[in-house]
Amino acid sequence: MSLAAQKVAAPPVFGGLPARMKVLYITTLHRTGGWLTEAFAADSAAQIVLEEVVGVTAGLSRLRDEVFDAVLVSHEPDVLDALDLVEGLRAGGNEEPMILLGSQPAQEVDALCYEVGADDYCCVAETTVRGLLWKFARAIERGQLVRENRRQVQAERQRLQQEHLEAERLLDQQRALIADLEVIGGTRVQTAGEEVSLEGCHAIMATAGVDAPVELPEVLVSHYRELLRTYIIMGAGNLSDEMLELAELLANSNVSAQRAMQLHVQVLEELVQGLGNRSARHVMNRADLLVLEVMGHLADGYRQRFHERHHPPRQLILPGFEAAA
């Protein structure tokens, strides 16, 4: 099995020579690959399966039908211009590692080689078999790293898209919860009638959003926006004073649970839309903790007010005045 066939079956191993490589050699009639096959066979560092084709047409046909670990192109400008061939292959989406082999000195061709997308250039008079093998190995390793990086980038992009879709679904569910609270609150007020006591009416109005303004004060929105951003960074348990201050502010403004939830969704939606390509999962998790803590403080605030209304403070009678009273 060639390295090309093992790419999916086994993870790539970096830093060494592959045990076996399948190489396509595109050459001309003036420079056949018999000597190259003998040279690879004499060096036992790696097993090279060299498949030779003559001409560009034959090379393109083999690349279309088979997968190779690397491609070696003979560079003879008057007969076979390897630079033009590699440039055309790269433009067509071919990603096999490609090395050029020619008689010109490396310093004359290196820059042109890299510009068209080839991995390296070897001068026949200057290179060795082992050096050529290592150039193959480095080119193959680079291709594996590029593909792995592309897969990682694509997977990260898909993960971020999935997180943003999940955040949108959660926001939709929270909007539906607000709508349900509107229906429940309106029904409770309409069915209360005259049988409900004055204290019960106050309790109903504290939890219903019928008479609450739709647009909350901008100062309150800005305050909650800054608190949410700070909460995302610092987490739960670090903003106790700020949470108590916010709950007192909401209670003094007669903000119902429905309107508090509306405020939270409005600010959170703005924050999620401004994330761009960043992760939304951490933001949503911290935001859920924040709104849970806010609702707990708000419920305690209204419970305390209800208790004070039912049990107002009364003046105690001084000792010795009980009989007179």
Residue ranges of domains in the chain: 3-150, 193-310
Q: Which of 13-17, 164-168, 292-296 has the least mean pLDDT?
A: 13-17
Residue 190 has pLDDT above 60, yes or no: no
CATH topology for 193-310?
1.10.1240
pTM for the whole structure: 0.62
Residue 14 has pLDDT above 70, yes or no: no
Confidence (pLDDT) at 86: 94
Measured distance CA(236)–CA(229) in Å, rounded = 12
Confidence (pLDDT) at 321: 61
Residue 210 has pLDDT above 80, yes or no: no
Residue 259 DSSP one-character state: H
In the block, residue with structure tokens 């001409």:
55
In the block, residue with structure tokens 């608190």:
227
Q: Which of 23-32, 108-117, 237-246, 265-274 has the least mean pLDDT?
A: 237-246
Confidence (pLDDT) at 53: 92
Q: What is the mean pLDDT of residues 9-19?
A: 63
In the block, residue with structure tokens 């990086």:
149
DSSP characters over 140-180:
HHHHHHHHHHHHHHHHHHHHHHHHHHHHHHHHHHHHHHHHH
Residue 271 has pLDDT above 70, yes or no: yes
Radius of gyration of the chain (CA): 37
- Tokens representing 324? 């007179």
Beta strands in the chain (DSSP E): 20-27, 47-54, 70-75, 98-102, 120-123
Confidence (pLDDT) at 98: 95
Entry field: residues in the chain: 325
- Tokens representing 311? 């049990």
> Half-sphere exposure (CA, 13 Å, Cβ side) for 63?
25
Q: Answer with the residue of higher pLDDT: 21 or 43.
A: 21
User: In CATH, what number does 3-150 get?
Assistant: 3.40.50.2300
End-to-end CA distance of the chain: 107
